[in-house]
Amino acid sequence: MSSTIAVLVGSLRKESYNLKVAKVLAQIAPSSLKLKIIEIGDLPFYNEDIDGATPPAAYTRFRNEIAGCQGVLFVTPEYNRSFPAVIKNALDVGSRPYGKSVWAKKPAAVISVSQGAIGGFGANHHLRQPLVFLDMPTLQQPEAYFGNVAHSFDENGHIVEKSEAFLQQFINAYASWFEKVK
């Protein structure tokens, strides 16, 4: 039986490279994993005032979806040397109310996707910091920085072979590590 892995995509753009990479990862993932992209763009900014007896429907939907997954994969762009607010907000929503975090003990991995040469290094490492606090064991190696992503898809939107091999190595490593730590 395969384990369901939540995939959080940090770019909300309809044709984002991050979303394209997430979809490729879902297609090439080993059969032991079922990757499921979870919507985070509809989450209101976390506000304890609205998270009472009847939290927003988007909070409840999101928390239930994450709770039903056994692991989490973050696919993030880099904005101003950090990860985007939409991912931080998702982390905050999922960690509340206090004592009911949906994140604890879920094995995670981070891949940063960038059009730049350094592949979102800052976002990748910055995102790892809150994952420590949220008690999410995180894949250490291989580190995954997917730079120059605009050159990784052909004119028909298909990933080029060299880039697919990089993604295959990453998702295989996550699958192997996930089996050890789950």
7-52 residue pLDDT tens? 999 999 999 999 999 999 999 999 999 999 999 999 999 999 999 8
The fraction of the chain above a pLDDT of 70, given in percent, is 100
Work out the average pLDDT over 59-75.
98
Q: Please name the residue ranges forming H helices in 35-160.
A: 57-67, 85-94, 121-133
Contacts of 19 (CB under 8 A, 6+ apart): 9, 11, 13, 37, 75
Give the domain range for residue 26. 3-181
Domain count, the chain: 1
pLDDT-based confidence at residue 55 (cuts at 50, 70, 90)? very high
For the stretch 71-82, pLDDT in tens is 999 999 999 999
CATH number for the domain that contains residue 13: 3.40.50.360
Task: State the amino acid at position 113 in one-letter form.
Answer: V
Query: What is the CB neighbour count within 10 angstroms for residue 6?
Result: 26
